A and B are shown apart, each in its own frame.
Chain A
Protein backbone atom coordinates (compact mmCIF):
# COMPACT_ATOMS: atom_id res chain seq x y z
CA UNK A 1 0.00 0.00 0.00
CA UNK A 2 2.88 2.36 0.75
CA UNK A 3 4.03 2.19 -2.85
CA UNK A 4 0.55 2.99 -4.09
CA UNK A 5 0.26 5.99 -1.75
CA UNK A 6 3.73 7.21 -2.77
CA UNK A 7 2.76 7.23 -6.47
CA UNK A 8 -0.60 8.84 -5.60
CA UNK A 9 1.22 11.56 -3.63
CA UNK A 10 3.33 12.44 -6.66
CA UNK A 11 0.20 12.76 -8.83
CA UNK A 12 -1.43 14.99 -6.22
CA UNK A 13 1.62 17.27 -6.10
CA UNK A 14 1.53 17.46 -9.89
CA UNK A 15 -2.08 18.72 -9.77
CA UNK A 16 -1.39 21.59 -7.43
CA UNK A 17 1.77 22.56 -9.29
CA UNK A 18 -0.06 22.80 -12.59
CA UNK A 19 -2.26 25.79 -13.37
CA UNK A 20 -5.23 23.93 -14.92
CA UNK A 21 -7.26 23.70 -11.74
CA UNK A 22 -6.62 27.31 -10.67
CA UNK A 23 -7.62 28.66 -14.08
CA UNK A 24 -10.82 26.61 -14.19
CA UNK A 25 -11.71 27.50 -10.61
CA UNK A 26 -11.19 31.22 -11.14
CA UNK A 27 -13.14 31.17 -14.43
CA UNK A 28 -16.01 29.40 -12.63
CA UNK A 29 -16.00 31.97 -9.84
CA UNK A 30 -15.91 34.88 -12.28
CA UNK A 31 -18.76 33.55 -14.46
CA UNK A 32 -20.90 32.83 -11.40
CA UNK A 33 -20.26 36.25 -9.89
CA UNK A 34 -21.13 37.99 -13.17
CA UNK A 35 -24.34 35.94 -13.42
CA UNK A 36 -25.15 36.73 -9.78
CA UNK A 37 -24.81 40.44 -10.47
CA UNK A 38 -27.58 40.38 -13.11
CA UNK A 39 -30.69 42.22 -11.91
CA UNK A 40 -33.81 40.13 -12.55
CA UNK A 41 -36.96 42.16 -11.85
CA UNK A 42 -35.34 43.62 -8.70
CA UNK A 43 -35.70 40.27 -6.94
CA UNK A 44 -32.60 39.31 -4.96
CA UNK A 45 -34.00 35.95 -3.83
CA UNK A 46 -33.86 34.26 -7.23
CA UNK A 47 -31.14 31.63 -6.91
CA UNK A 48 -31.87 28.43 -8.81
CA UNK A 49 -30.58 29.68 -12.17
CA UNK A 50 -27.35 30.56 -10.42
CA UNK A 51 -27.11 27.12 -8.81
CA UNK A 52 -27.72 25.52 -12.19
CA UNK A 53 -25.00 27.55 -13.94
CA UNK A 54 -22.54 26.97 -11.10
CA UNK A 55 -23.16 23.21 -11.02
CA UNK A 56 -22.92 22.97 -14.80
CA UNK A 57 -19.52 24.69 -14.70
CA UNK A 58 -18.42 22.45 -11.82
CA UNK A 59 -19.36 19.37 -13.82
CA UNK A 60 -17.58 20.57 -16.96
CA UNK A 61 -14.45 21.63 -15.06
CA UNK A 62 -14.29 18.43 -13.03
CA UNK A 63 -14.56 16.30 -16.16
CA UNK A 64 -11.84 18.36 -17.87
CA UNK A 65 -9.56 17.99 -14.84
CA UNK A 66 -10.26 14.26 -14.45
CA UNK A 67 -9.79 13.29 -18.09
CA UNK A 68 -6.85 15.53 -18.98
CA UNK A 69 -4.95 14.80 -15.75
CA UNK A 70 -5.39 11.04 -16.08
CA UNK A 71 -4.79 10.79 -19.82
CA UNK A 72 -1.25 12.22 -19.58
CA UNK A 73 -0.03 10.17 -16.58
CA UNK A 74 1.44 7.05 -18.17
CA UNK A 75 2.30 8.55 -21.61
CA UNK A 76 4.21 11.33 -19.80
CA UNK A 77 6.17 8.79 -17.75
CA UNK A 78 7.03 6.97 -20.96
CA UNK A 79 7.99 10.15 -22.81
CA UNK A 80 10.20 11.38 -19.98
CA UNK A 81 11.79 7.91 -19.77
CA UNK A 82 10.94 7.70 -16.07
CA UNK A 83 8.68 4.67 -16.39
CA UNK A 84 11.50 2.13 -16.54
CA UNK A 85 13.43 3.51 -13.52
CA UNK A 86 10.12 3.67 -11.64
CA UNK A 87 9.38 0.02 -12.31
CA UNK A 88 12.98 -0.92 -11.51
CA UNK A 89 12.23 0.09 -7.92
CA UNK A 90 10.23 -2.33 -5.75
CA UNK A 91 7.03 -1.28 -7.48
CA UNK A 92 4.86 -3.66 -9.45
CA UNK A 93 2.90 -2.65 -12.53
CA UNK A 94 -0.51 -3.05 -10.84
CA UNK A 95 0.77 -0.87 -7.97
CA UNK A 96 1.75 1.82 -10.45
CA UNK A 97 -1.69 1.69 -12.08
CA UNK A 98 -3.45 1.77 -8.72
CA UNK A 99 -1.21 4.61 -7.50
CA UNK A 100 -1.89 6.65 -10.61
CA UNK A 101 -5.63 5.99 -10.28
CA UNK A 102 -5.70 6.87 -6.59
CA UNK A 103 -3.69 10.05 -7.18
CA UNK A 104 -5.94 11.25 -9.97
CA UNK A 105 -9.09 10.34 -8.05
CA UNK A 106 -7.91 12.12 -4.90
CA UNK A 107 -6.87 15.12 -6.99
CA UNK A 108 -10.39 15.23 -8.44
CA UNK A 109 -11.77 14.93 -4.93
CA UNK A 110 -9.75 17.92 -3.73
CA UNK A 111 -10.82 19.96 -6.73
CA UNK A 112 -14.45 18.97 -6.12
CA UNK A 113 -14.18 19.98 -2.47
CA UNK A 114 -13.11 23.51 -3.48
CA UNK A 115 -15.84 23.71 -6.13
CA UNK A 116 -18.61 22.50 -3.81
CA UNK A 117 -17.55 24.82 -0.97
CA UNK A 118 -17.80 27.72 -3.42
CA UNK A 119 -21.15 26.41 -4.68
CA UNK A 120 -22.48 26.08 -1.13
CA UNK A 121 -21.35 29.60 -0.25
CA UNK A 122 -22.93 31.01 -3.41
CA UNK A 123 -26.25 29.25 -2.78
CA UNK A 124 -26.25 30.18 0.92
CA UNK A 125 -25.70 33.85 0.08
CA UNK A 126 -29.17 33.90 -1.54
CA UNK A 127 -31.08 31.03 0.08
CA UNK A 128 -29.79 31.60 3.63
CA UNK A 129 -29.67 27.87 4.27
CA UNK A 130 -26.99 25.23 3.99
CA UNK A 131 -28.42 21.75 3.23
CA UNK A 132 -25.13 19.97 3.99
CA UNK A 133 -26.44 16.44 3.56
CA UNK A 134 -27.82 17.24 0.10
CA UNK A 135 -24.50 18.73 -0.92
CA UNK A 136 -22.64 15.77 0.59
CA UNK A 137 -24.73 13.31 -1.44
CA UNK A 138 -24.30 15.31 -4.64
CA UNK A 139 -20.53 15.72 -4.15
CA UNK A 140 -20.00 12.07 -3.16
CA UNK A 141 -21.93 10.76 -6.16
CA UNK A 142 -20.07 13.22 -8.39
CA UNK A 143 -16.71 12.06 -6.98
CA UNK A 144 -17.48 8.37 -7.50
CA UNK A 145 -18.63 9.13 -11.05
CA UNK A 146 -15.26 10.80 -11.61
CA UNK A 147 -13.64 7.64 -10.23
CA UNK A 148 -15.24 5.66 -13.06
CA UNK A 149 -14.12 8.30 -15.58
CA UNK A 150 -10.55 8.29 -14.21
CA UNK A 151 -10.35 4.49 -14.33
CA UNK A 152 -11.77 4.48 -17.87
CA UNK A 153 -9.30 7.14 -19.01
CA UNK A 154 -6.41 5.27 -17.42
CA UNK A 155 -7.36 2.18 -19.40
CA UNK A 156 -7.68 4.38 -22.50
CA UNK A 157 -4.20 5.82 -21.96
CA UNK A 158 -2.80 2.28 -22.26
CA UNK A 159 -4.89 1.37 -25.29
CA UNK A 160 -4.77 4.51 -27.42
CA UNK A 161 -1.59 5.83 -28.98
CA UNK A 162 -1.60 9.45 -27.86
CA UNK A 163 -3.09 11.39 -24.92
CA UNK A 164 -4.96 13.67 -27.36
CA UNK A 165 -6.86 10.79 -28.96
CA UNK A 166 -7.57 9.31 -25.54
CA UNK A 167 -8.85 12.69 -24.33
CA UNK A 168 -11.17 13.06 -27.32
CA UNK A 169 -12.53 9.52 -27.12
CA UNK A 170 -13.12 9.77 -23.38
CA UNK A 171 -14.91 13.14 -23.69
CA UNK A 172 -17.15 11.77 -26.46
CA UNK A 173 -17.89 8.58 -24.52
CA UNK A 174 -18.64 10.40 -21.25
CA UNK A 175 -20.73 13.05 -23.03
CA UNK A 176 -22.65 10.38 -24.93
CA UNK A 177 -23.39 8.41 -21.75
CA UNK A 178 -24.48 11.52 -19.87
CA UNK A 179 -26.79 12.74 -22.63
CA UNK A 180 -28.35 9.55 -24.04
CA UNK A 181 -27.25 6.75 -21.70
CA UNK A 182 -30.54 6.76 -19.80
CA UNK A 183 -32.60 6.57 -23.00
CA UNK A 184 -30.58 4.01 -24.94
CA UNK A 185 -33.13 1.27 -24.18
CA UNK A 186 -35.91 3.49 -25.55
CA UNK A 187 -33.82 4.11 -28.69
CA UNK A 188 -33.27 0.34 -28.98
CA UNK A 189 -37.03 -0.21 -29.17
CA UNK A 190 -37.19 1.86 -32.35
CA UNK A 191 -34.48 -0.20 -34.07
CA UNK A 192 -34.78 -3.45 -35.99
CA UNK A 193 -32.75 -6.56 -35.29
CA UNK A 194 -29.78 -7.03 -34.94
CA UNK A 195 -29.22 -3.35 -34.05
CA UNK A 196 -31.79 -3.61 -31.27
CA UNK A 197 -29.84 -6.35 -29.50
CA UNK A 198 -26.60 -4.41 -29.99
CA UNK A 199 -28.15 -1.26 -28.50
CA UNK A 200 -29.55 -3.25 -25.56
CA UNK A 201 -26.16 -4.87 -24.97
CA UNK A 202 -24.51 -1.44 -24.95
CA UNK A 203 -27.19 -0.13 -22.60
CA UNK A 204 -26.48 -2.82 -20.02
CA UNK A 205 -22.69 -2.76 -20.53
CA UNK A 206 -21.88 0.93 -20.23
CA UNK A 207 -21.39 2.58 -16.86
CA UNK A 208 -24.49 4.74 -16.39
CA UNK A 209 -22.75 7.92 -15.33
CA UNK A 210 -26.03 9.87 -15.57
CA UNK A 211 -27.18 8.08 -12.39
CA UNK A 212 -24.69 10.19 -10.48
CA UNK A 213 -25.96 13.48 -11.91
CA UNK A 214 -28.29 14.66 -9.15
CA UNK A 215 -28.03 18.35 -10.03
CA UNK A 216 -31.79 18.70 -10.52
CA UNK A 217 -32.42 17.41 -7.00
CA UNK A 218 -29.96 19.93 -5.52
CA UNK A 219 -31.07 22.87 -7.66
CA UNK A 220 -34.77 22.43 -6.92
CA UNK A 221 -34.35 21.48 -3.24
CA UNK A 222 -35.81 17.99 -3.53
CA UNK A 223 -35.59 15.78 -0.42
CA UNK A 224 -32.53 13.60 0.20
CA UNK A 225 -31.97 10.45 -1.82
CA UNK A 226 -32.64 7.31 0.22
CA UNK A 227 -29.32 6.29 1.84
CA UNK A 228 -29.88 2.73 0.63
CA UNK A 229 -30.02 3.77 -3.03
CA UNK A 230 -27.20 6.25 -2.46
CA UNK A 231 -24.98 3.42 -1.12
CA UNK A 232 -26.01 1.12 -3.97
CA UNK A 233 -25.00 3.81 -6.48
CA UNK A 234 -21.57 4.09 -4.86
CA UNK A 235 -21.19 0.31 -5.02
CA UNK A 236 -22.22 0.40 -8.68
CA UNK A 237 -19.45 2.94 -9.34
CA UNK A 238 -16.90 0.89 -7.37
CA UNK A 239 -17.82 -2.13 -9.48
CA UNK A 240 -17.06 -0.29 -12.72
CA UNK A 241 -13.87 1.20 -11.26
CA UNK A 242 -12.72 -2.34 -10.42
CA UNK A 243 -13.57 -3.56 -13.93
CA UNK A 244 -11.65 -0.74 -15.66
CA UNK A 245 -8.65 -1.01 -13.32
CA UNK A 246 -8.46 -4.75 -13.81
CA UNK A 247 -8.54 -4.16 -17.55
CA UNK A 248 -5.80 -1.53 -17.23
CA UNK A 249 -3.61 -3.86 -15.15
CA UNK A 250 -4.07 -6.68 -17.68
CA UNK A 251 -3.20 -4.43 -20.63
CA UNK A 252 -0.24 -2.86 -18.81
CA UNK A 253 1.15 -6.29 -17.85
CA UNK A 254 1.86 -7.04 -21.51
CA UNK A 255 2.86 -3.52 -22.50
CA UNK A 256 6.44 -2.64 -23.43
CA UNK A 257 7.64 0.16 -21.15
CA UNK A 258 10.47 1.56 -23.24
Chain B
Protein backbone atom coordinates (compact mmCIF):
# COMPACT_ATOMS: atom_id res chain seq x y z
CA UNK B 1 0.00 0.00 0.00
CA UNK B 2 1.43 3.38 -1.04
CA UNK B 3 1.92 6.12 1.54
CA UNK B 4 -0.70 8.98 1.51
CA UNK B 5 2.00 11.47 2.49
CA UNK B 6 2.76 12.85 -1.05
CA UNK B 7 -0.94 13.36 -1.71
CA UNK B 8 -1.38 15.12 1.63
CA UNK B 9 1.58 17.38 0.90
CA UNK B 10 0.21 18.15 -2.56
CA UNK B 11 -3.17 19.00 -1.03
CA UNK B 12 -1.51 21.31 1.51
CA UNK B 13 0.54 23.00 -1.20
CA UNK B 14 -2.57 23.60 -3.27
CA UNK B 15 -4.36 25.02 -0.23
CA UNK B 16 -1.47 27.42 0.46
CA UNK B 17 -1.37 28.42 -3.21
CA UNK B 18 -5.16 29.04 -3.27
CA UNK B 19 -5.03 31.10 -0.10
CA UNK B 20 -2.12 33.18 -1.39
CA UNK B 21 -3.81 33.77 -4.74
CA UNK B 22 -7.05 34.80 -3.06
CA UNK B 23 -5.21 37.15 -0.69
CA UNK B 24 -3.48 38.70 -3.70
CA UNK B 25 -6.60 39.07 -5.87
CA UNK B 26 -9.31 40.12 -3.38
CA UNK B 27 -7.97 43.65 -2.69
CA UNK B 28 -7.52 44.25 -6.43
CA UNK B 29 -11.03 42.97 -7.13
CA UNK B 30 -12.54 45.17 -4.44
CA UNK B 31 -10.71 48.22 -5.77
CA UNK B 32 -11.89 47.48 -9.32
CA UNK B 33 -14.71 49.84 -10.37
CA UNK B 34 -16.57 47.10 -12.22
CA UNK B 35 -16.80 44.88 -9.15
CA UNK B 36 -20.27 43.74 -8.16
CA UNK B 37 -19.14 42.39 -4.79
CA UNK B 38 -20.06 45.66 -3.10
CA UNK B 39 -23.35 47.48 -3.25
CA UNK B 40 -26.98 46.50 -3.05
CA UNK B 41 -28.78 43.52 -4.50
CA UNK B 42 -29.60 45.37 -7.75
CA UNK B 43 -25.93 46.12 -8.33
CA UNK B 44 -24.95 42.51 -7.72
CA UNK B 45 -27.67 41.03 -9.93
CA UNK B 46 -27.96 43.60 -12.73
CA UNK B 47 -24.64 45.47 -12.80
CA UNK B 48 -24.73 48.60 -14.95
CA UNK B 49 -27.81 47.39 -16.81
CA UNK B 50 -29.84 48.49 -13.80
CA UNK B 51 -29.80 52.04 -15.19
CA UNK B 52 -31.80 50.81 -18.18
CA UNK B 53 -34.40 49.31 -15.86
CA UNK B 54 -34.36 52.47 -13.74
CA UNK B 55 -35.34 54.54 -16.76
CA UNK B 56 -38.10 52.07 -17.63
CA UNK B 57 -39.53 52.39 -14.11
CA UNK B 58 -39.30 56.19 -14.28
CA UNK B 59 -41.40 56.05 -17.45
CA UNK B 60 -43.72 53.60 -15.70
CA UNK B 61 -44.28 56.19 -12.98
CA UNK B 62 -45.22 58.73 -15.67
CA UNK B 63 -47.59 56.16 -17.16
CA UNK B 64 -49.25 55.89 -13.74
CA UNK B 65 -49.39 59.70 -13.62
CA UNK B 66 -51.56 59.42 -16.76
CA UNK B 67 -53.59 56.53 -15.32
CA UNK B 68 -52.36 54.19 -18.05
CA UNK B 69 -52.94 56.53 -21.03
CA UNK B 70 -49.44 56.48 -22.49
CA UNK B 71 -47.89 56.07 -25.95
CA UNK B 72 -46.15 52.82 -26.83
CA UNK B 73 -43.05 52.61 -29.01
CA UNK B 74 -45.39 52.39 -32.01
CA UNK B 75 -47.25 55.63 -31.24
CA UNK B 76 -46.32 59.28 -31.74
CA UNK B 77 -44.57 60.19 -28.48
CA UNK B 78 -43.43 63.73 -29.35
CA UNK B 79 -45.65 65.08 -26.58
CA UNK B 80 -44.09 62.72 -24.05
CA UNK B 81 -40.35 63.41 -24.53
CA UNK B 82 -40.14 64.80 -21.01
CA UNK B 83 -42.07 62.98 -18.32
CA UNK B 84 -45.12 65.11 -17.50
CA UNK B 85 -44.81 64.34 -13.79
CA UNK B 86 -41.30 65.88 -13.96
CA UNK B 87 -42.31 68.82 -16.17
CA UNK B 88 -45.16 69.68 -13.76
CA UNK B 89 -42.67 70.21 -10.94
CA UNK B 90 -41.51 73.34 -12.80
CA UNK B 91 -37.82 72.53 -12.41
CA UNK B 92 -37.25 70.56 -15.61
CA UNK B 93 -36.75 71.72 -19.19
CA UNK B 94 -39.95 70.70 -20.94
CA UNK B 95 -39.10 69.33 -24.39
CA UNK B 96 -42.60 68.16 -25.22
CA UNK B 97 -44.36 69.28 -28.36
CA UNK B 98 -47.28 67.93 -30.32
CA UNK B 99 -50.70 66.76 -29.24
CA UNK B 100 -50.62 65.02 -25.88
CA UNK B 101 -54.39 64.42 -25.98
CA UNK B 102 -54.56 62.68 -29.33
CA UNK B 103 -51.33 60.76 -29.84
CA UNK B 104 -53.43 57.80 -30.98
CA UNK B 105 -54.67 59.78 -33.99
CA UNK B 106 -57.90 58.92 -35.78
CA UNK B 107 -58.86 55.20 -35.78
CA UNK B 108 -56.95 53.36 -38.49
CA UNK B 109 -59.53 50.63 -39.08
CA UNK B 110 -62.59 49.07 -37.43
CA UNK B 111 -60.46 46.84 -35.19
CA UNK B 112 -58.48 49.83 -33.94
CA UNK B 113 -61.69 51.81 -33.34
CA UNK B 114 -63.24 48.86 -31.49
CA UNK B 115 -60.09 48.20 -29.45
CA UNK B 116 -60.01 51.77 -28.09
CA UNK B 117 -62.95 50.93 -25.83
CA UNK B 118 -60.75 48.49 -23.90
CA UNK B 119 -57.85 50.64 -22.74
CA UNK B 120 -57.47 54.16 -21.31
CA UNK B 121 -58.16 56.58 -24.16
CA UNK B 122 -58.21 60.01 -22.47
CA UNK B 123 -55.35 62.25 -21.34
CA UNK B 124 -55.57 62.93 -17.60
CA UNK B 125 -53.13 63.71 -14.81
CA UNK B 126 -53.41 62.08 -11.40
CA UNK B 127 -52.81 65.36 -9.59
CA UNK B 128 -55.80 66.82 -11.44
CA UNK B 129 -58.12 64.03 -10.33
CA UNK B 130 -57.28 61.29 -12.84
CA UNK B 131 -59.98 59.48 -14.84
CA UNK B 132 -62.72 60.59 -12.42
CA UNK B 133 -61.77 64.29 -12.92
CA UNK B 134 -62.26 64.63 -9.17
CA UNK B 135 -59.84 67.23 -7.83
CA UNK B 136 -60.40 66.01 -4.26
CA UNK B 137 -58.63 62.81 -5.34
CA UNK B 138 -55.45 64.60 -6.37
CA UNK B 139 -53.56 62.81 -3.57
CA UNK B 140 -53.87 59.71 -5.78
CA UNK B 141 -50.60 60.94 -7.22
CA UNK B 142 -49.12 58.74 -4.46
CA UNK B 143 -49.50 55.85 -6.90
CA UNK B 144 -46.44 56.99 -8.88
CA UNK B 145 -44.21 56.72 -5.81
CA UNK B 146 -43.42 52.94 -5.80
CA UNK B 147 -42.00 53.15 -9.32
CA UNK B 148 -39.99 56.28 -8.49
CA UNK B 149 -38.58 54.60 -5.40
CA UNK B 150 -37.63 51.54 -7.43
CA UNK B 151 -36.08 53.77 -10.08
CA UNK B 152 -34.03 55.61 -7.43
CA UNK B 153 -32.87 52.29 -5.94
CA UNK B 154 -31.80 51.02 -9.35
CA UNK B 155 -30.02 54.17 -10.46
CA UNK B 156 -28.87 56.24 -7.45
CA UNK B 157 -27.12 58.74 -9.75
CA UNK B 158 -30.29 59.95 -11.47
CA UNK B 159 -30.98 63.34 -9.91
CA UNK B 160 -34.41 63.80 -11.46
CA UNK B 161 -35.84 60.80 -9.61
CA UNK B 162 -35.09 62.39 -6.22
CA UNK B 163 -36.40 65.84 -7.11
CA UNK B 164 -39.61 64.53 -8.70
CA UNK B 165 -40.27 62.14 -5.80
CA UNK B 166 -39.64 64.86 -3.22
CA UNK B 167 -41.83 67.38 -5.05
CA UNK B 168 -44.87 65.11 -5.14
CA UNK B 169 -44.33 63.86 -1.60
CA UNK B 170 -44.26 67.45 -0.38
CA UNK B 171 -46.83 69.09 -2.65
CA UNK B 172 -49.61 66.52 -2.80
CA UNK B 173 -48.95 64.03 -0.01
CA UNK B 174 -47.92 66.62 2.60
CA UNK B 175 -45.26 64.12 3.59
CA UNK B 176 -42.46 66.60 4.24
CA UNK B 177 -40.23 64.34 6.41
CA UNK B 178 -40.10 61.67 3.69
CA UNK B 179 -39.42 64.33 1.03
CA UNK B 180 -36.61 65.67 3.21
CA UNK B 181 -35.20 62.15 3.63
CA UNK B 182 -35.24 61.33 -0.08
CA UNK B 183 -33.54 64.63 -0.94
CA UNK B 184 -30.79 64.00 1.60
CA UNK B 185 -30.37 60.49 0.21
CA UNK B 186 -30.06 62.11 -3.22
CA UNK B 187 -27.46 64.56 -1.91
CA UNK B 188 -25.42 61.70 -0.46
CA UNK B 189 -25.42 59.97 -3.86
CA UNK B 190 -25.06 63.12 -5.98
CA UNK B 191 -23.31 65.72 -3.78
CA UNK B 192 -22.83 68.21 -6.64
CA UNK B 193 -26.44 68.31 -7.73
CA UNK B 194 -27.83 71.86 -7.88
CA UNK B 195 -31.25 70.40 -8.81
CA UNK B 196 -31.48 68.57 -5.50
CA UNK B 197 -30.25 71.67 -3.66
CA UNK B 198 -32.95 73.73 -5.35
CA UNK B 199 -35.67 71.27 -4.33
CA UNK B 200 -34.25 71.07 -0.81
CA UNK B 201 -34.32 74.86 -0.61
CA UNK B 202 -37.96 74.87 -1.71
CA UNK B 203 -38.70 72.35 1.02
CA UNK B 204 -37.01 74.52 3.68
CA UNK B 205 -38.62 77.70 2.37
CA UNK B 206 -42.17 76.53 1.61
CA UNK B 207 -42.68 73.72 4.10
CA UNK B 208 -40.45 74.54 7.08
CA UNK B 209 -40.51 78.36 6.57
CA UNK B 210 -36.79 78.30 7.35
CA UNK B 211 -35.44 81.17 5.23
CA UNK B 212 -31.85 81.04 6.40
CA UNK B 213 -31.44 77.34 5.57
CA UNK B 214 -33.24 77.85 2.26
CA UNK B 215 -30.89 80.76 1.44
CA UNK B 216 -27.80 78.70 2.31
CA UNK B 217 -28.91 75.75 0.21
CA UNK B 218 -29.91 77.84 -2.81
CA UNK B 219 -26.68 79.86 -2.67
CA UNK B 220 -24.74 76.59 -2.56
CA UNK B 221 -26.74 75.48 -5.60
CA UNK B 222 -25.80 78.67 -7.45
CA UNK B 223 -22.11 78.16 -6.60
CA UNK B 224 -22.26 74.56 -7.88
CA UNK B 225 -23.97 75.70 -11.09
CA UNK B 226 -21.34 78.41 -11.67
CA UNK B 227 -18.62 75.76 -11.54
CA UNK B 228 -20.08 74.02 -14.61
CA UNK B 229 -18.46 74.41 -18.02
CA UNK B 230 -20.24 76.89 -20.36
CA UNK B 231 -21.85 74.22 -22.54
CA UNK B 232 -23.40 72.45 -19.55
CA UNK B 233 -24.50 75.79 -18.15
CA UNK B 234 -26.27 76.55 -21.43
CA UNK B 235 -28.21 73.29 -21.20
CA UNK B 236 -29.18 73.88 -17.57
CA UNK B 237 -30.25 77.51 -17.58
CA UNK B 238 -33.75 76.82 -16.30
CA UNK B 239 -32.56 75.56 -12.91
CA UNK B 240 -30.24 78.58 -12.52
CA UNK B 241 -33.15 80.88 -13.36
CA UNK B 242 -35.26 79.11 -10.74
CA UNK B 243 -32.49 79.29 -8.12
CA UNK B 244 -31.81 82.99 -8.63
CA UNK B 245 -35.47 83.96 -8.93
CA UNK B 246 -36.30 82.13 -5.71
CA UNK B 247 -33.32 83.76 -4.00
CA UNK B 248 -34.54 87.14 -5.25
CA UNK B 249 -38.01 86.55 -3.82
CA UNK B 250 -36.53 85.31 -0.55
CA UNK B 251 -34.36 88.43 -0.18
CA UNK B 252 -37.27 90.68 -1.11
CA UNK B 253 -39.42 89.10 1.61
CA UNK B 254 -36.54 89.49 4.04
CA UNK B 255 -36.34 93.20 3.12
CA UNK B 256 -32.89 92.96 1.50
CA UNK B 257 -33.89 94.83 -1.64
CA UNK B 258 -30.39 95.51 -3.11
CA UNK B 259 -29.56 91.83 -2.70
CA UNK B 260 -32.89 90.86 -4.29
CA UNK B 261 -32.16 93.13 -7.28
CA UNK B 262 -28.76 91.48 -7.67
CA UNK B 263 -30.38 88.02 -7.81
CA UNK B 264 -32.99 89.14 -10.35
CA UNK B 265 -30.21 90.70 -12.45
CA UNK B 266 -28.46 87.36 -12.39
CA UNK B 267 -31.72 85.59 -13.29
CA UNK B 268 -31.99 87.90 -16.32
CA UNK B 269 -28.68 86.63 -17.68
CA UNK B 270 -29.99 83.06 -17.91
CA UNK B 271 -33.66 83.73 -18.61
CA UNK B 272 -35.24 83.07 -21.99
CA UNK B 273 -37.52 86.07 -21.44
CA UNK B 274 -35.25 88.53 -19.58
CA UNK B 275 -37.14 91.67 -20.59
CA UNK B 276 -40.48 90.63 -19.22
CA UNK B 277 -40.70 88.93 -15.83
CA UNK B 278 -37.28 89.66 -14.33
CA UNK B 279 -37.08 93.23 -15.68
CA UNK B 280 -40.52 94.05 -14.27
CA UNK B 281 -39.46 92.71 -10.88
CA UNK B 282 -36.21 94.67 -10.98
CA UNK B 283 -38.08 97.87 -11.89
CA UNK B 284 -40.55 97.31 -9.07
CA UNK B 285 -37.81 96.68 -6.51
CA UNK B 286 -35.82 99.72 -7.68
CA UNK B 287 -38.93 101.84 -7.29
CA UNK B 288 -39.47 100.49 -3.76
CA UNK B 289 -35.85 101.18 -2.92
CA UNK B 290 -36.07 104.65 -4.36
CA UNK B 291 -39.24 105.32 -2.35
CA UNK B 292 -37.46 104.39 0.87
CA UNK B 293 -34.99 107.21 0.33
CA UNK B 294 -37.46 109.67 -1.28
CA UNK B 295 -40.84 109.10 0.38
CA UNK B 296 -42.40 112.16 -1.32
CA UNK B 297 -41.88 110.88 -4.84
CA UNK B 298 -45.03 109.55 -6.61
CA UNK B 299 -45.10 107.26 -9.65
CA UNK B 300 -45.83 108.96 -12.98
CA UNK B 301 -48.43 106.32 -13.97
* CB < 8 Å neighbour of B175 from A43, A208, A229, A233: A43
- Asked if A221 contacts B117 (CB within 8 A), the reply is no
- Asked if A185 contacts B108 (CB within 8 A), the reply is yes
B residues less than 8 Å from A45 (CB atoms): 142
A residues less than 8 Å from B173 (CB atoms): 41, 43
* CB < 8 Å neighbour of B146 from A46, A212, A232: A46
> Please, how many angstroms separate the alpha-carbon atoms of A213 and B117 in the complex?
11
> Please, how many angstroms separate the alpha-carbon atoms of A46 and B120 in the complex?
20
Q: How many A-B residue pairs have CB under 8 A?
A: 85
Task: Name the residue on A nearest B74 (C-beta).
Answer: A183
A212-B118 contact, Cβ under 8 Å, with A41-B169, A220-B130, A221-B131: yes
Task: Name the residue on A nearest B109 (C-beta).
Answer: A185
- Asked if A221 contacts B120 (CB within 8 A), the reply is no
Is A113 engaged at the interface, CB distance under 8 Å to the other chain? no
Per-residue interface assignment for chain A, residues 173 to 187, with 1 indicating a CB less than 8 Å from any chain B CB and 0 otherwise: 000000000110111
Per the 8 Å Cβ criterion, residues 108-166 of B in contact with A are 108-109, 111-112, 114-115, 117-120, 130-132, 142-143, 145-147, 149
Per the 8 Å Cβ criterion, residues 41-74 of A in contact with B are 41-43, 45-49
A222-B131 contact, Cβ under 8 Å, with A217-B68, A217-B119: yes
A residues less than 8 Å from B132 (CB atoms): 221
A residues less than 8 Å from B271 (CB atoms): none
> Please, how many angstroms separate the alpha-carbon atoms of A52 and B271 in the complex?
42
Task: Name the residue on B nearest A204 (C-beta).
Answer: B111
B residues less than 8 Å from A219 (CB atoms): 68
- Asked if B118 contacts A214 (CB within 8 A), the reply is yes
Interface size of B as a range: 20 to 34
Minimum distance in angstroms from B247 CB to a CB of chain A: 29
B residues less than 8 Å from A37 (CB atoms): none
Per the 8 Å Cβ criterion, residues 213-249 of A in contact with B are 213-214, 216-217, 219-223, 225-226, 229, 232-233
B residues less than 8 Å from A223 (CB atoms): 131
> Please, how many angstroms separate the alpha-carbon atoms of A40 and B120 in the complex?
26
Is B273 engaged at the interface, CB distance under 8 Å to the other chain? no
Per the 8 Å Cβ criterion, residues 162-182 of B in contact with A are 169, 173, 175, 178, 182
- Asked if B111 contacts A42 (CB within 8 A), the reply is no
Is B72 engaged at the interface, CB distance under 8 Å to the other chain? yes
- Asked if A41 contacts B143 (CB within 8 A), the reply is no
B residues less than 8 Å from A40 (CB atoms): 145-146, 149
- Asked if B118 contacts A42 (CB within 8 A), the reply is no
Task: Name the residue on A nearest B115 (C-beta).
Answer: A211
A residues less than 8 Å from B114 (CB atoms): 211, 229, 232
Which residues does B use to contact A, with CB under 8 Å?
A: 64, 67-68, 72, 74, 108-109, 111-112, 114-115, 117-120, 130-132, 142-143, 145-147, 149, 169, 173, 175, 178, 182
Closest 4 CB pairs of A and B: A216-B68, A220-B67, A183-B74, A49-B146
Q: A216-B119, A220-B131 are in contact. List 7 more A-B contacts (CB 8 A).
A: A40-B146, A43-B145, A43-B175, A48-B143, A185-B112, A216-B68, A229-B114
Would you mind naming 19 contact pairs between A and B with Cβ atoms under 8 Å apart? A40-B149, A41-B169, A41-B175, A41-B182, A43-B145, A46-B146, A47-B143, A182-B115, A183-B74, A208-B111, A211-B114, A212-B118, A214-B118, A216-B68, A220-B131, A221-B132, A222-B68, A229-B117, A233-B118
Which residues does A use to contact B, with CB under 8 Å?
A: 38, 40-43, 45-49, 141, 182-183, 185-187, 203-204, 208, 210-214, 216-217, 219-223, 225-226, 229, 232-233
